[in-house]
Amino acid sequence: MSFIVAIVGRPNVGKSTLFNRIIGKRISIVHDKPGVTRDRIYGETDWNGKHFTLIDTGGIEPSSDDVILKQMKRQADFAIDTANLILFMVDAKEGVTYADLDVAQLLRKSGKPVLLVVNKADNNTLESYEFYQLGFKEPIFISAVHGLGIGDLLDEITNYIEKQGNISEDEDITKVAIIGRPNVGKSSLLNAILGEERVIVSDIPGTTRDAIDTYFEIDEKKMLFIDTAGLRKKSKINEDVEYYSSVRAIGAINRADVVLMVLDASQDITEQDKRIAGIAHEAGKAIIITVNKWDLVDKDSYTVQEFNKKIRNELAFMQYAPIIYVSAKTGQRVNRIFTLIDSVMENYTFRVKTSVLNDLVREAMAISEPPSIKGRKLKIYYAVQTGVKPPTFVFFVNDAKLFHFSYVRYLENTLRQAFNFEGTPIIIKPQQKKGSD
């Protein structure tokens, strides 16, 4: 785990803009609508060789009775508890507000080191005396939008890292994205997996607008869970924020090793479910079909069999994906998800020895001869595995046009029977050998 820096402050002071400026890419949604960043967003970065994790938080309004704002405050509280250093962000143009004073009191109680960051300082005429009433050291003036003062701020952050000692970085981490359409219980499932409430849970569809990274360790195995905004049909994406959320969810899939495709057991599989699953499949990710809300289903001895058949029919393109039935609400079978993640990750990174692979290919060709088209027969000279994540195989042939998809499917099934490969797609590519007849 790296040195953790949390950005906190009341809504709309520019926290997400600063986060994006430091991380160097557009991770947090930036929008002038207060409350857009609701959960904690994690990003990795470094400055002058010092690595740290930056957390962007939802704006704190300590005295608000709004349910979402109250949950935002809880998430910010957790970030404060987790952080090694806090960046307390205020607005130079608005000056010190009563909300700023309330946040300052919370931060002083935390006992954590705090850097006071005055954003939107677009000129050099500002006086710092007003901000001393917040009770912290010399404020650092910046403009997150224009990049002014960011280097000075990063220098101060690295000074703290040097004082406290950089914490070693974990590299062997399995990245797991939790995906699905809105309101299937993705955030609740993550909370059940983690055993604590780290992501805002609400019955309002679309509450999770950003992709949230949460580090987790179990039995010395390190995982990074990515909770994503529910993917909606394009016709229902009416706001810029919803658009960016969908883009981010797709980005989270691309970042992941393993994808938990969450379905709602109390509802039929929809075209949107198929589209989301298809995105993960086309991205070549290891996939676990996770059927949530299993506690809501009336069951008999045939229920699981019927559900399995329905899922296999509706998601026919991902027959390789294991299915697990869970309840985030009751915790039913949630712990089994870890075993499945380990299993599919092992298959996702499995390598076949070239000699063993070619013995298998020769045996497969003896059982079922390669196809012929217009009197010309496919010849397979040899095969090699060229990659993992997912396992990728190149077959050297006399004519790539003769490598018919039905025979590719036969070879894939042969590989799966020999080496399992449950949970992972397999890529098989033809390579026409030069000088072949």
What ranges make up the beta strands (E) of 11-97? 41-47, 50-56, 85-91
Q: How far apart are CA 357 and CA 395, in angstroms?
A: 11
At residue 407, the pLDDT reads 95
* 3-state DSSP assignment of residue 390: coil
Please report, as a single letter, which amino acid is at residue 357. L
Distance CA 49, CA 409 (A): 48
Which parts of 115-238 fold into alpha helices (H)? 150-164, 186-194
Tell me the C-alpha distance between 86 and 79, whole Å: 9
| Cα 109 to Cα 184: distance, rounded to the nearest angstrom | 38
| Residues in Cβ contact with 378 at an 8 Å cutoff, skipping those fewer than 6 apart | 370, 371, 372, 397, 398, 399, 402, 403, 404, 407
Which pLDDT value is given to residue 161? 86
pLDDT per residue of the chain (437 residues) written in tens, 0 to 9? 467 888 888 888 988 899 989 887 655 555 555 555 445 566 778 888 888 888 887 766 666 666 555 655 665 676 677 788 999 999 998 889 888 888 888 888 888 899 999 998 876 555 667 888 888 888 999 999 998 999 999 999 999 888 775 444 445 789 999 999 888 999 899 989 988 665 655 665 555 555 567 777 777 788 888 877 655 665 554 544 444 445 556 767 878 999 999 999 999 999 989 989 998 999 999 999 999 999 999 999 999 999 999 999 999 999 999 999 999 999 999 999 999 999 999 999 999 999 999 999 999 999 999 988 888 899 999 999 999 999 999 999 999 999 999 999 999 999 999 999 999 999 999 999 776 55
Judged by phi (left if over 0) then psi (alpha if -120 to 50, else beta), residue 12 lies in left
Tell me, what's the pLDDT at 169?
44
- Provide the token pair at 258: 């393993």
Provide the pairing of β-strand 372-373 with 323-325: unpaired
Cα of 322 vs its chain's centroid, Å? 20
Cα gap 158→141, rounded to integer Å:
17
SS (H, E, C) 229-274: CCCCCHHHCCCHHHHHHHHHHHHHHHHCCEEEEEEECCCCCCHHHH
Domains of the chain and any CATH numbers: 3-164 (3.40.50.300), 173-348 (3.40.50.300), 354-432 (3.30.300.20)
Instruction: Evaluate if pTM is beyond 0.75.
Output: no
pLDDT for res 406: 93
The residues with which 115 forms a beta bridge, in sequence order, are 87
E strands of 9-40, at which residues?
none
Strand partners for 141: 118
Angle made by CA atoms 341, 177, 285, in degrees to the nearest 5: 70
Kind and range of the H or E element at 393? strand 392-397
Cβ pair 341, 321 in contact under 8 A: no
Q: Do 229 and 208 contact (CB within 8 A), yes or no? A: yes
Strands (E), 265-333: 286-292, 323-325
Chain centre to alpha carbon of residue 336: 20
Plot region of 190 (φ>0 → left; ψ -120 to 50 → alpha; else → beta)? alpha
At a CB cut-off of 8 Å and minimum separation 6, what does 144 contact? Answer: 14, 17, 18, 21, 119, 120, 150
Q: Which two tokens stand for residue 420?
A: 């399992």
Query: How many Å from the N-terminal Cα to the C-terminal Cα in the chain?
Result: 56
Strand partners, 382: 396
The kind and range of the H/E element at 3 are: strand 3-8
* pLDDT for the residue 320: 97
Residues 189, 228: Cα–Cα separation, whole Å: 12
Residues 6+ away with beta carbon under 8 Å from 106: 60, 62, 77, 80
Which residues on adjacent β-strands are paired with residue 263? 291
User: Distance (Å, rounded) from C-alpha 261 to C-alpha 178?
Assistant: 6
